[in-house]
Amino acid sequence: MNASPRRTRRHTTVFALITASALALTACGGGSDDAGPGGEGRGAVPTEDVVSGVKKDAAAARLLPAEVRERGSLRLATNVGGSPPGNSYLEDGKTITGLDADIATATAKVLGLRLRTEAAGFEAILPALSSGKYDVGTGNFGVTEARRKTIDFVTYINDGQGFAVREDSDLKKVTDLKQLCGLDIGTSAGTTFEATLEENKHICAESGKKPYAVKTYAEQGALWPSLQQGRTDVLMSTINGLRYGVAQQEGLKFLGEFHRLDVGFAFKKGTPLAPAFQAAVNRLIEDGTYARILKKWGTEKSALPASKISPPEIKD
């Protein structure tokens, strides 16, 4: 992300748009009586404080490497995509809010650590972990077999892949990518969505159909305008992000889940931090903080019963 100012503006159809110089976080028409996930009006970003009361857990903190305990801080890279429940900026243009932000803050509190947080592009975070630039990364990183070769994960939610379209679309539920042949599909660059689409492009030609076109966007917030304005026919993105976005906008529909993935904190392969982070997330699950965070962001259906370290990719 660049360091230029971000601002909030109203629009009747677009929920979130990030440009090179501004963040536009919208609220649709409809009235404030329509409550959002945290009880706020439709289109409002939840601001309930659900993490400030979290206390340090000595047992979890003891699992940290000694030098980390002594330093008392970690370098966190996080993707700020602009569309809740993923991370976005508040009106001050500096404060990061979102599901990932709340989980990271609460986990750090359990471990007695300060997070030195830096916003970074989605595609840049995982390589930067491997190079040692950051200690930990967040950005709705799904656990895949390809990523597990170079990255360690500590899971904190179950999300995955889904689709959304305009209400006038003939698509109902996508169960096979051949249903997308001939369409323009919008998705975020460098994601499992882009990889899935590119890897399966051949199925259209093999079925005698026109291939679908994959249109990638560097910022997730640009996806919604591409759909609303007709530049794409369908969006492929996170299940939670699509559910949230469709609920905040008129004229769109969510087509359901396509493929589930566990999501977690990302670390350099072989990190000694994983056991402490796993213990901290499990502590949040046990004390109810985890449930409060998920309720705030309307993601209760994605709850995990327990955190795991680099579990196998979910295969449907």
* pLDDT tens per residue across span 95-127: 999 999 999 999 999 999 999 999 998 889 999
Distance, CA of 124 to CA of 245 (rounded, Å) = 25
Q: What is the per-residue pLDDT for 82?
A: 64
Pick out the chain residues at pLDDT < 50.
Answer: 1-36, 39, 41
Q: Residue 303: its pLDDT value, please?
A: 97
Which positions ≥6 away from 165 have C-beta within 8 Å? Answer: 171, 227, 233, 234, 235, 252, 253, 255
Residue with tokens 């963040």: 23
Q: What pLDDT does 40 receive?
A: 52
How far is residue 234 from each of residues 162, 226, 257, measured CA to CA in Å? Answer: 10, 9, 14
Concatenating the DSSP letter of every residue in the chain gives ---S--EE---SS--EEE-SS-EEE---SS-TTSB-TTSPBTTPPP----STT----HHHHTTS-HHHHHH-EEEEEE---SSTTS-EE-TTSS-EESHHHHHHHHHHHHHT-EEEEEE--HHHHHHHHHHTS-SEEES--B--HHHHTTEEEEEEEEEEEEEEEETT-S----SSGGGGTTSEEEEETTSHHHHHHHHTTHHHHHTT-PPPEEEEESSGGGHHHHHHTTS-SEEEEEHHHHHHHHHTSSSEEEEEEEEEEEEEEEEETT-SSHHHHHHHHHHHHHHTHHHHHHHHTT-GGG--SS--BSPPPP--
pTM: 0.81
**CA-to-CA separations, 204 to 49, 193, 211, in angstroms, rounded:** 48, 17, 5
pLDDT confidence of residue 213: 98
pLDDT at 219 (0 to 100): 75
Report the C-alpha gap between 286 and 37 in whole angstroms.
22
Report pLDDT digits (tens) over 221-262. Answer: 788 999 999 999 999 999 999 998 898 899 999 999 999 999
